[in-house]
Chain A
Amino acid sequence: MYDIVIIGAGIVGAMTARELSKYLLSVCILDKESDVAMGATKANSAIIHAGYDPKEGTLKARLNVLGSEMMPQIAEELGVRYINNGSLVIGFNDEDAEKIKTLYRRGIANGVKKLALLDKDELLNLESNISKNAVCALYAPTSGITCPYELAIAAIGNAMDNGVDLKLNFKVEEIKKNEDGYEVISSFESVKAKYIINAAGLFADDIAKMAGDTSFSIHPRKGEYLLLDKECGSLVSHTIFGTPTEKGKGILITPTVDGNLLLGPTSVDITDKTDTSTTFDGIETILSQVNKYVNSIPFNRVITSFSGLRAVGGTGDFIIKFSNDNFISVAGIESPGLSAAPAIARYVAGMLKETGIRLEKKKKFNPYRKSMHFFKNLSDEEKNRLIRENRKYARIVCRCEMVSEGEIIDAIRSNPKATNLDAVKRRTRSGMGRCQGGFCSPYILDILSEELKIPVEHITKSGGASNIIIGRTKGGEQW
């Protein structure tokens, strides 16, 4: 029997698990996927928003501003990359200028610091590649960028290092309420807990229903992206938004913490909560929009495209409420959910406290986690010292991103453990470079097989039936 079970290992579940790992509580986090951060947290814009977008007085506004203020320290503790690059909302006409002023006033009301309105010259001074048609901008120097799945992986890893359990491939199908708490059931196993935190993203409505709460429903809204080669990352240094419309913040252009250039997202309501395919129209929409904001984007340098699904709750605000006794739902966590996540976690801890649960701090809580990219950041001398201890740090497996076998083994062995190719990729960046895994995946497949002691045929790209090879050609084995 756990004190608390968290359903969903996205950024909300991750930050909540880490927050709760500070206390003397037994906590377990569950996810239906083969790795953490496989939902909205995997594919989004990665912006730590300053907080001028959400309407004054909403929970969204409050938690966004607070979360984004907490982010630099959390990123530092977790060894996750965070760059305070600032953002610009640019306007092209009087109507845009009015909207930008509204955003400015809203930001001030929300408590966003250092906001400024810029005229054309000031804008072009900050970003020389912005379209000459732009006339004004809102400048938010506190806005930043991070790597969202890296943040979630690190938060869960740190929570696990501090005693939290993680169960993957655990798809919650049913929840039973009994005298001493809840039983959370999948097709294969079940766990018991006194408290449940529902952080199931797009599926938070289904989970709430299992506890008898039908007060909200979540629908998916797709956002597609194009990612450009690292050579293009310096085209702009700030995150560039157009003026928002009813449909949201619109398409943005931003450098990523890896130095790539990210274009997107589109915004299309769909019905299938698992449809993360990219579309011809999506790609066209992005291409036609971004040209208006920034000059000479090298579209021939696209290295990949992807899409993410927003969990739209329909209330215009985050839905954070008790769905039943000792059962908290954290739902409708649309953008700026990533930015707000640390504050959401604290808010949820506060709600738990109200129920009378004892939140006693652990003496041994260690807030720090070694960066997944620690090896890269060492000097040559320090690297050589490590190499002498472990020769595998000198065996480069991914040549585009220069990732060694030692780093790949670290990713497979440290919390939360990588068990497939994409999971290794998200932790080490192997396979994320120009060749997109063509060179390194055959090697990583063998390393995974050896480390996990399972046959290569069973190693997958991203869990489920996504196996890479179907059998052997040599040695007479049949496929």
Chain B
Amino acid sequence: MVKSTDLVIIGGGPAGMSAAISAYNNGIRDILILERAETLGGILQQCIHNGFGIHKFNEELTGPEYSWRYEKQILELKIPYKLNTMVTEFTRDKIITAVNEQDGIFKIKAKAVILATGCRERPRGALNIPGTRPSGIFTAGTAQKYINIKGYMPGKSVVILGSGDIGLIMARRMTLEGAEVKAVCEIMPYPGGRARNVEQCLNDFNIPLKLSHTVVEIHGKHRLTGVTIAKVDENKKPVPGTEEYISCDTLLLSVGLIPENELAKSAGIELDSVTGGAVVDQNRQTSVKGIFACGNALHVHDLVDYVSEEAEIAGKSAADYIKNNGMSPGSFARNIIIKTGGGIRYTVPRKITSITDAKIYFRTSGIYRNAKISIKEGERVVASIKKKRVVPAEMEMIKLTGDNIREIKGGIVTFELEGLHD
């Protein structure tokens, strides 16, 4: 038996919740959120540090507090959700198969679907670090879950590989729990996480950040006993003679996040090879009409505030799609492709399909000072912003108005960056 629902949102983290509320506020009532965890809130539940909501609420909230602001609305609006529910299959005609203890395996046919499944961490295997395979190697997020959710201590002397935000946060967290964090190694010449986190999580605790360093060997037969680290050259290859052994019982990996895109793949949705998420237009609609994506499932964000903002767009778009009986938002009045020029790593969205305001998020491919980022059609500047400093760790945004878009005559615009490379 296949049930029908107007809007199914897969994932009940900040993106899913915000998308649901936005769809509700835009007139949709028949909504169902499917969440595999035992609570709403997604990864925020284990992020007990503060720093969430500065843009959105002008306040510094913890992860669970930020999450609660949305959860409360979900409850007040009586938006239905199912917890402990895993979506196992998803097809491009929007049939969802899921399983939970109450309903067993069940199928839902949706008019529109929003993918808000978040992201996962890159594991050790992807790095090809030679050595043994002992216990004591965790991704930073897994260690965070052990400590903050389970109350288990993963280890007491720690090396962290990668300086992504979760790694930095965990350096501080483990220190506060009494562990010794001996070093954070980053293969790039600049940190992977936000400057604020480097300051507050490493510098304030005198934890050394070793830039242009990586782990070249893992030691220990049962439990980890140590790692060998080394300096790397411009091509990220270890420099012979710079090896240094650090004894430790724990190695945390904070080496990147990848959008959780298995469901998108199974539905045959076009993916972006840079972000790992779906290719979307400014309404956050994927290559399959009626399927939308937002949050870390679309591209990895550094601030949850932008996740919520993006999810509002997806929620509204899905609502419009349902209300217009399957007509895409803006009816594909335009078909403009956004290309990336020098200095820009990616943009989301990559397509403009309607004459409606478009928030275009982007990341740069390096650190630049006095940067001017422009969207150009040929030589004509459609819009631009200026920034004192841009870094890959911090996502930036340019807003295009409907008028800006109306002025674009052709099918291609280019994102370009001019500035001083650091």
Contact = CB atoms under 8 A, between A and B. Distances in A.
Interface string B147-191: 101111111100000000000000000000100000000000000
Nearest to A397: B86
Contact of B123 (A277, A303, A462, A465): A303
Interface in A458-479: 460-475, 479
A312 to B, nearest CB: 22
Interface in B127-162: 128, 130-136, 138-139, 141-142, 145-147, 149-156
Contact of B86 (A388, A402, A463): A402
B274 interface: no
A274 interface: yes
B125 A469 contact: no
A441 B152 CA distance: 13
A305 B141 contact: no
Interface in A88-140: none
A388 B103 CA distance: 9
A276 B105 contact: no
B121 interface: yes
B120 A278 contact: no
B36 A399 contact: yes
Contact of B125 (A274, A276, A305, A384): A305
B58 to A, nearest CB: 32
Chain B contact residues (Cβ within 8 angstroms of A): what range? 35 or more
Interface stretch (B215-223, B332-340, B376-384, B389-397): B215-223
Given A274-B221, A277-B132, A461-B134, A438 B150 contact: no
B140 to A, nearest CB: 10
A468 B135 contact: yes
Given A391-B101, A439-B120, A479-B156, A466 B134 contact: yes
Given A460-B135, A461-B135, A396 B142 contact: no
Nearest to A472: B151
Contacts of B124: 304, 436
A279 B216 CA distance: 10
Nearest to B155: A470
A277 B217 CA distance: 10
A203 to B, nearest CB: 16
B356 interface: no
Nearest to B221: A274
Given A306-B133, A394-B100, A436 B125 contact: yes
A271 B337 CA distance: 59
Most buried by B among A227, A436, A475: A436
A252 interface: no
A282 B156 contact: no
A7 to B, nearest CB: 22
B39 interface: no
A438 B139 contact: yes
A212 interface: no
Interface in B92-125: 97, 99-101, 104-105, 120-121, 123-125
Contacts of B155: 469-470
Contacts, number: 134
Q: Is the interface of B mostly helix, strand, loop or mixed?
A: mixed
B86 A399 contact: yes
A32 interface: no
A395 B141 contact: no
Contacts of B136: 468
Most buried by A among B88, B131, B142: B142
A446 B177 CA distance: 21
B142 A438 contact: yes
A122 B104 CA distance: 49
A470 B125 contact: no
A180 interface: no
A191 interface: no
A55 interface: no
Given A280-B130, A441-B142, A473-B147, A456 B152 contact: yes
Given A278-B130, A439-B120, A467-B223, A395 B101 contact: yes
A354 interface: no
Contact of A276 (B132, B147, B151): B132
Given A305-B128, A466-B134, A396 B36 contact: yes
A302 interface: yes
A196 B100 CA distance: 50
B75 interface: no
Given A394-B104, A469-B146, A475 B223 contact: no
Interface string A384-418: 10011001101110010010000000000000000
Contact of A383 (B105, B134, B138, B223): B105
A148 B58 CA distance: 57
Interface in A351-399: 380, 383-384, 387-388, 391-392, 394-396, 399
Contacts of B36: 396, 399
Given A280-B217, A402-B88, 13 more contacts: A227-B125, A304-B124, A304-B125, A306-B133, A384-B104, A394-B105, A435-B123, A460-B222, A467-B223, A469-B152, A474-B151, A475-B151, A479-B153
16 contacts: A277-B131, A277-B218, A283-B130, A303-B125, A304-B125, A306-B133, A384-B104, A394-B101, A437-B123, A438-B138, A466-B135, A470-B154, A471-B153, A473-B147, A473-B153, A474-B151
3 smallest A-B Cβ distances: which pairs? Answer: A304-B125, A461-B135, A436-B123
Interface of A: 226-227, 274, 276-280, 282-283, 302-306, 380, 383-384, 387-388, 391-392, 394-396, 399, 402, 434-439, 441-442, 445-446, 456, 460-475, 479
